[in-house]
Amino acid sequence: MSFNYGREEKKWRLWKEAEEKQLRSLGVSEDTIEQLHTHDWEVFNSDRKYYRRLKDAGTYLEEFAEDVAQPEVGTVEDFLDSIENQQLYQVLIKVDRLTLQIIVMKMQGYSTHDIASLLGMTEQAIYKRVNRLKEKIKKNLK
């Protein structure tokens, strides 16, 4: 799981330029375009920080998600049913449902910003829950 900041920033800038061009053609004010640009840049950087942390952590959960082709996970129960490692399963069944829901949403491709909005939480709260789960998994799977 590698996050190439330069490549991702280039893709983001190309996407943003195309979006801003379209917004201008639709008559959206420059102030609104600038606000959108600033907001999207903050979201990009938030995701960048998350992926950098995720890469640095190198936990079993990440390796598990990458290495094993899993069926589409739609619910927390589906996620738990898909766990084949008994030790990991024993750790995860003791975790609160909200944290597991966050993991399921991450697996489905939601950004941290989107998850926070949907669950009525701060992005920092999402990061804390994920990091606590990582630490719990590291501690129990040694």
Residue-wise pLDDT tens digits, 13-67: 888 898 989 989 999 899 998 999 899 888 888 877 777 666 655 555 555 555 5
> Per this entry, what is the length of the chain?
142
Distances (CA, A) of 135 to 21, 57, 97, 128, 141: 44, 9, 17, 10, 10
Q: Is the pLDDT of residue 1 over 50?
A: no
131 pLDDT exceeds 90? yes
Angle of the 30-57 helix axis to the 112-119 helix axis, nearest 10: 100
User: With contact defined as beta carbons under 8 Å apart, do 80 and 100 qualify?
Assistant: yes
pLDDT tens-digit map of 71-126: 566 788 888 888 888 888 888 888 899 998 998 888 888 899 999 999 999 999 99
Q: What is the CATH number of domain 58-142?
A: 1.10.10
pTM over 0.85: no
3-state helix, strand, coil in the chain (%, to 5): 75, 0, 25
